[in-house]
Amino acid sequence: MTTNDWPLWEVFVRSRRGLSHTHAGSLHAPDAELALRNARDLYTRRGEGVSIWVVPSAVITASSPDEKDPFFEPAADKPYRHPTFYEIPEGVQHL
Amino acid sequence: MTTPDTTAPETTAPDMTTAPADTTTVPAAAALALGDDALVLSHRLGEWAGHAPVLEEEVALANIALDLLGQARVLLSMAGDEDDLAYLREERAFRNLQLVEQPNGDFAHTIARQLYFSTYQHLLYDRLAAGDGPFAGLAAKAVKEVAYHRDHAEQWTLRLGDGTEISRERMRRACEALWRFTGEMFQPVDGVDVDWAGMEAAWLESVGQVLRRVTLSVPEGPRTGAWSAGAGRQGLHTEPFGRMLAEMQHLHRSHPGASW
């Protein structure tokens, strides 16, 4: 496999109606239309999806591992922020 | 690229429960012609495995090949034993179009072959699915696969035709080189009841539209007649086909009945 200059795309697949799109992986493609088609071939071949999003990897801004503590640590000891005091009605999925 | 699923996919035939149970009503010669088209093109596309320009495209071509293999299995089973038909026939007994047996060439050649064939196959299966003949069930199921093959070929024709000077020249060359094999597609096949002339007009219109979008001219060479190709349906094939068959059949012929 030769290297290529095609940009990288992140693929999000919605497995069925009512669920959100979930990150499935990434791939190379020359443009958005072909990225969609490549995603269809790579990630939905066994009936995994009803909808696909592709996003250029370059436009994603990600938090850095170095910032992990300031970002996430303070949330650990504040249980009153957690919505654990509600009763979940029966039959509600995916909450 | 993160963990795409590239394991060998299943090659089981699609469940064609809608195919007629009474196979005696199926015109075997027609099933053979359509089945051989699918089988031979599937094998040609499979030859790209390990050689495609990029991994993503390799998977795309392999997917198309597997769709075609599924169709071939159903069609050949209508005509007899699928394994015997695929592995034990001599070259002269194959009824596929000469177009589909043409070697892969460069990527543009493969795309031109795909454009010509998948446009034809889509038009044909669309018409078969709308009818109530013996192939209606298979066609109704396969037409969605074939629509995707056609889209894939059109997208790539546009990109190569509108890409760099090199890609454009290669696309032009490929369209020219394979043009003489396109007339044969519209020789009526016994037992396939469609309006062949109308289908040919629709094919010319569609392919012409794609090529004109990237200002590639529609080839002008002959498509039928003395200087064009086209007797695959009668069992006459081009030279590269024999070598392809040898490779496709040698395992089964060396180890008859082998399985895993």
Q: Is residue A25 part of a domain?
A: yes
Query: How close, in Å, is residue A71 to chain B by CA atoms?
Result: 26
Query: Residue B20 has what pLDDT?
Result: 44
Containing domain of residue A22, as a range? 8-65
Q: Given phi > 0 = left and psi -120 to 50 = alpha, else beta, which region is B50?
A: left
Residues of A at the B interface, defined by Cβ within 8 angstroms: 1-2, 4, 6, 8, 25-31, 33-34, 37-38, 41-43, 45-46
pLDDT higher than threshold 50 for residue B154: yes
Task: Give the domain B26-254 fold.
Answer: Ferritin (1.20.1260)
With a CB cutoff of 8 Å and minimum separation 6, the contacts of B54 are A1, A2, A4, A6, A28
User: What CATH code is carried by the domain that includes residue A57?
Assistant: 3.10.20.520
Checking if the pLDDT of B10 tops 60, the result is no
Number of domains in chain A: 1
The reported pLDDT for the residue numbered A95 is 65
Is residue B159 over pLDDT 80? yes
pLDDT digits (tens, 9 = 90+) for B51-78: 988 899 999 999 999 999 999 999 999 9
* A3 falls within a domain: no
For the entire predicted model, the pTM comes to: 0.84
Judged by CB atoms closer than 8 Å, whether chains meet at B1 and A29 is answered as: no
Does residue A81 lie within any of the structural domains? no
Residue B61: closest C-alpha in chain A: A41
Give mean pLDDT, residues A28-54.
91
- How deeply is B91 buried, as exposed, middle or buried, from its count of CB atoms within 10 A (0-12, 13-18, 19+)? middle
| In-domain check, residue A1 | no
The answer on pLDDT for B161 being more than 90 is: yes
Q: Which of B254 and B20 is assigned the larger pLDDT?
A: B254
Would residue A48 count as lying in a domain?
yes
With beta carbons less than 8 A apart as the criterion, state whether B205 and B69 touch. Answer: no
Q: Is B225 exposed, middle or buried (0-12, 13-18, 19+ CB in 10 A)?
A: exposed
Decide if A25 and B1 are in contact by the 8 Å CB cutoff: yes
CA distance B116 to A9: 30
pLDDT attached to residue A70: 83
Establish if A78 belongs to a structural domain: no
Least confident of A68-77, B9-18, B221-230: B9-18
Number of H helices, E strands in chain B: 9, 0
In chain B, domain spans: 26-254
CA distance A25 to chain B (A): 6
Q: Give the number of other CB atoms < 10 A from CB of residue B5.
A: 14
Which residue type, as a one-letter code, is found at position B221?
Answer: G
Phi and psi at A60, nearest 5°, equal -85, 125
* Per-residue model confidence (pLDDT) at position A4: 59
Instruction: Tell me, yes or no, whether A46 lies in a domain.
Output: yes
Confidence (pLDDT) at B21: 44
The per-residue pLDDT for range A58-85, each reduced to its tens digit, is: 999 998 888 888 888 877 777 777 777 7
Using CB atoms, pick whichever of A6, A33, A42 lies closest to residue B4.
A42
Q: Is the pLDDT of residue A90 over 70?
A: yes
Across the interface, whether the CB atoms of A33 and B155 are under 8 A apart is answered yes
Predicted confidence at residue A76, as pLDDT, reads 74
Beta carbons of A38 and B56 less than 8 Å apart = yes
Question: Which of A27, A37, A45 is nearest residue B1 as measured by Cβ atoms?
Answer: A27
Interface of B with A in 133-192 (CB under 8 A): 151-152, 155, 159
What local confidence, expressed as pLDDT, does residue B22 receive? 47
Please indicate whether, in this complex, the C-beta atoms of B155 and A2 are within 8 angstroms of each other.
no
Q: What is the mean pLDDT of residues B186-203?
A: 94
Residue B197's pLDDT band (boundaries 50, 70, 90)?
very high
For residue B3, pLDDT beyond 50: no
Give the model's pLDDT for residue B68: 97
Nearest to B124 by CA among B170, B87, B71, B168: B71
B56, A45: Cβ pair inside 8 Å? no
Q: How confident is the model at residue A94 (pLDDT cuts 50, 70, 90)?
A: confident
Confirm whether A34 is domain-assigned: yes
